[in-house]
Structure 1
Amino acid sequence: MWFKHLHLYRLHDAPSLTADELLAALDEQAFRPLGESEAKRLGWQAPAGQGGSRRLHELQGQRLLTVARQERLLPASVVREAVESRAAEREAAEGRPLRRPEKQALKEQVYEEFLPRAFVRTQRIDLWWDTRNALIGVNASSRARAEDALDLLRQTLGSLKVTPLATKVTPTRAMTEWLSQPSARPAGLELGDQVELKSTTGDDSVLRGRQVDLDGDDIQTALDSGRQATRLAFTIQDAVSLVLHDDLALKSLRFADAVLDEAAENETGDDPELRLETDFLLMTQVLARSIEQLIDWLGGEASPAAPTP
């Protein structure tokens, strides 16, 4: 249940739906497997997986929803090779080069023919809706996957006005300052051992370090040369460690042993839904405090741009 990554969004004019009303809407967009001619499909599934039956869990204003994203994997190189082979055969048989519309039609034919035989990949995307703080967090490895989940929620609700969470001080500026000026680091922040530094001199070079001393001479020399931090690993209040990205994405989340021990102490037996709810509530409590602290360290929340309806 414990999130690995988190993309954060501010919710504007949140729809006033009861849990039952939201659940009914989710059921209408329930996941179903791909048809043979479909390349991608998204739908809502039970967060507890096969051991659960409910598509929504709500506890103390915290909602958990799960998207199942299924797609067929058809490499472009496979399609291209088949198109080139068939085009060459037709050109030889007809004694003329194929026109662009003919090649495009051939490409569509190959794609439709190969698609039903392509491998199918299914991914899970968890969505945390904090109704108390009008915040949505998506547990996804990329911003594109997070947007997929938001698009499905928007389709489910009819409207969803959200903007990526933004702060008055950019993560890049703050992370660079924390690295270059130890005295500027806020209390409760403990540096980790990962960093990404990008050049500001126009060559776009990137320096990445893992398991390195972030207060070491090599890092300081790179900063003195004008590089800026675009990723930085640190721990917030001894509760959760993460890698902060320049777009405010929280990656590689790891919860402290004390938090996981508390979850183990609250173990609720073999009921998968009850166990999920126990972990989810504890996790969101830790995340809500940590996000609030992080926003404060970054100068507070910035005024959002116009939300997407």
Structure 2
Amino acid sequence: MFKNARLYRLDTPFPLDATELEERLGGRRFRPCGPVETATLGWAAPLGEDTAALVHAVSGCFLICARKQERLLPSAAVAEALDERVGELEAGEARDVGRAERRRLREQIINEMLPRAFTRSRRTLLYVDTEAGWLVLDAASEKQAEEIVSLLRETLESLPAKLPDPDKTPATVMTSWLLDGVAPADFVPADACELRDADDNSSVVRCSGQDLSSDEILNHMRAGKRATKLALEWDERLTFTLADDLSIKRLRVGDALLEDLDNEDLDPAMRLDAEFAILALQMRQLIARLDEVFGLAPRDLQ
């Protein structure tokens, strides 16, 4: 259900129940782009377009969904149309078109082309764990996560959520797990990692399908590189890649936890509900372990 997880700690208890949150989100419900809008962003039903509720509550966790729609207007097409328009003016009026006029022409062309442009939508799932005090987003990039957090903050008028600022440097800890073989018993390194030079961030080694205990890999770390991403299996329940900013990618729930979902009688909404219940519980326990290992004190958002 979630392929990624970006974590934000809540400074204070979440003040809304599911009904109140539903009402707040309803004020910013998603709507498609208008004819001359480049993008719109709002809240959509997390269990799919066939459902209406904007909040799905399970075990103290509120699942919500942000939807963004963008009009696809290739810059090359705009540039080509602009060149044609400028060429016609210069040839017809025997004069040069200046920068200010080119800018006005470009804006005019964009406004003419936008209503005919194709649209693309992206859904981003996130949930608030009101019991553990975390906000978790299925966002592949920091930029995407910050855009959704900003939307939630604007919708609620206040959201005391901060990125974790770990007491222990994750890259140092993960490097020690590999180099010294001291990973906790419930965190088992898999076969992929990213190693970067501490003094030269452009010097990077990416390994996949490798034995991370081999001398070939260890020698990179002995020479000064640090593990900035590491594929892990946690307690035979979750597999994922942990980055040095404590973001999680390639998140996958263990097959044993999903056996009960093989029932063909489950409709899509029921299956999503069951998947979320499993995911939220496992993530709550995983985040608690990451807090124990790294000390996830919050830091101010930029």
Cα gap change, 1:116 to 1:62, in 2 (>3 Å): same
Select between 223-232 and 78-87 the one with higher mean Cα deviation. Answer: 78-87
Equivalences, count:
302
Residue 83 of structure 1: how far off its partner (Å): 2.0
Letter in 2 for 1:285: L
Q: How does 1:206-245 map to 2 (within 5 A)?
A: 206-245=204-243
* Structure 1 residue corresponding to 2:286, chosen from 251, 266, 290: 290
In the alignment, the residues of structure 2 paired with residue 307 and residue 7 of structure 1 have an alpha-carbon distance, to the nearest angstrom, of 13
In the alignment, the residues of structure 1 paired with residue 166 and residue 158 of structure 2 have an alpha-carbon distance, to the nearest angstrom, of 25
Query: Which residue number in structure 2 is paired with residue 5 of structure 1?
Result: 4
In the alignment, the residues of structure 1 paired with residue 260 and residue 146 of structure 2 have an alpha-carbon distance, to the nearest angstrom, of 33
Cα gap change, 1:212 to 1:23, in 2 (>3 Å): same
Query: Which residue number in structure 1 is paired with residue 245 of structure 2?
Result: 247
Query: Which residue number in structure 1 is paired with residue 163 of structure 2?
Result: 164
> When the two structures are superposed, what TM-score results if normalisation uses the length of structure 2?
0.93
Query: Which residue number in structure 2 is paired with residue 91 of structure 1?
Result: 90
Query: Which residue number in structure 2 is paired with residue 107 of structure 1?
Result: 106
In the alignment, the residues of structure 2 paired with residue 109 and residue 289 of structure 1 have an alpha-carbon distance, to the nearest angstrom, of 54
Cα contact 2:163–2:300 (8 A) shared by 1: no
Letter in 2 for 1:220: L
Cα contact 1:268–1:274 (8 A) shared by 2: no
Q: Deviations over 1:123-157 (max 9, x none)?
A: 11001100011100001222222222212211221
Q: Deviations over 1:42-99 (max 9, x none)?
A: 1211111133221111122111001111111122222223223322332333333322
Letter in 1 for 2:147: D
Letter in 2 for 1:71: E
Q: How does 1:270-289 map to 2 (within 5 A)?
A: 270-289=266-285
Q: Deviations over 1:172-218 (max 9, x none)?
A: 11122212111x21121111111111223437122111111111122
Unaligned runs of 5+ in 1: none
Select between 54-63 and 6-15 the one with higher mean Cα deviation. Answer: 6-15
Query: Which residue number in structure 1 is paired with residue 80 of structure 2?
Result: 81
Identity %: 36
In the alignment, the residues of structure 1 paired with residue 201 and residue 275 of structure 2 have an alpha-carbon distance, to the nearest angstrom, of 45
CA RMSD, 1 decimal: 2.0
In the alignment, the residues of structure 1 paired with residue 126 and residue 289 of structure 2 have an alpha-carbon distance, to the nearest angstrom, of 21
Q: Secondary structure at the match of 1:38?
A: coil
Cα contact 1:12–1:307 (8 A) shared by 2: no
Unaligned runs of 5+ in 2: none
Cα contact 2:67–2:123 (8 A) shared by 1: yes
> When the two structures are superposed, what TM-score results if normalisation uses the length of structure 1?
0.91
Cα contact 1:198–1:228 (8 A) shared by 2: yes
